[in-house]
Amino acid sequence: MAAAPAPAEMLDLAGRAVAVTGAGGGIGHGIASRMLAAGASVAAHTRSSSLDRLPEDGRVVRVTADLTDPDAPARVASAALDAFGRLDGLVNNAALQPIKHFAELTDREWSEMIDTNLTAVHRLTQACAAAMKAAGNGGSIVHIASIEGHHAPVMHGHYGVSKAGLIMHARSAALAYGPDGIRVNTVSPGLIHRPGLEDDWPDGVSRWGRACPLGRMGSPEDVGDACVFLCSDLARWITGAELVVDGGVSVRPTW
């Protein structure tokens, strides 16, 4: 067996193209920015948020679409192929997280959550994996789930259900697409900082700080770096895995 390249070379994504959904939000912007920093070109998707923070250059193509539209996933894949001539990675980040008591959810609210957080991801995975398979170079798909896929959340339990489903979807897709050289993994973040969060939820931020072994909230870049790793050759033999990015809070006993 030939010796593996040096780690620095395996983390270099130069010449590769990655699609990132929900790139206008905080976490999505962090993911897209770190992909660009690692050398990749990015097909940046948004439904309604601005993508103005991303650079205006030839390594970024912008895609505006409602991912619950059955035709939208193919548009995301095509945008990358048309702009860069290839598609090597997909980060399924776009999601809804409305706040409502589990017992009060309407059928419509439940369906909106599942359509966005699960069905759209499934379609995107199919569309982008088909493009990767056609090129014959393999690829990497990363689902952004949540630690709430394991810990039932208060007031957004339906979100937790969707993220638990996403974790299993990644494992199932890893099994299906492995023979094509396509790896599928999950990143499950904990509490990620956004501007104004301390004012909007002071008690929760304080409790998180006390519970988290590393003593802080995460940043969008923390999530982005995990995605860069999983899309790089350093993770070439990792598929069907869940990478928890939560500062260690999940190890804290709850009883």
> What is the pTM assigned to this prediction?
0.94
The active-site residue, picked from 146, 162, 188, 232, is: 146
- Tell me the C-alpha distance between 21 and 89, whole Å: 11
Evaluate if residue 45 carries a pLDDT over 80: yes
Reference 192, options 230, 144, 234, 239; nearest CA is: 144
**Which tens digit of pLDDT belongs to each residue from 53-81?**
998 889 999 999 999 999 999 999 999 99
pLDDT score at 3: 59
At 238, which amino acid appears? I
Q: How far apart are the first and last CA of the chain?
A: 49
The yes-or-no verdict on residue 230 having pLDDT over 70 is: yes
**Res 237 pLDDT > 70:** yes
Q: What is the mean pLDDT of residues 6-29?
A: 90
Catalytic residue among 33, 41, 159, 188: 159
Strands 60-64 and 182-189: unpaired
Residue 234 scores a pLDDT above 80: yes
Q: Where are the domains of the chain?
A: 12-251
- One-letter amino acid at 204 equals G
Residue 2: its pLDDT value, please?
A: 55
Q: Give 192's DSSP letter.
A: B
Question: How many CB atoms within 10 Å of residue 101?
Answer: 10
177 labelled catalytic:
no
Q: Is the pLDDT of residue 140 over 80?
A: yes
| Alpha-carbon torsion angle 248, 21, 183, 214, nearest 10 | -10
Residue 1 has pLDDT above 80, yes or no: no
Residue 155 has pLDDT above 80, yes or no: yes
Instruction: Decide if 146 is catalytic.
Output: yes
| Res 224: pLDDT | 97
DSSP code for 242? E
On whether the 12-251 domain is CATH 1.20.1250.30, my answer is: no
The Cα 212–Cα 191 span in angstroms is: 10
Which of the residues 163, 177, 188, 232 is marked catalytic?
Answer: 163
CB 116 within 8 A of CB 73: no
Q: Which two tokens stand for residue 49?
A: 């948020």
197 forms beta bridges with none
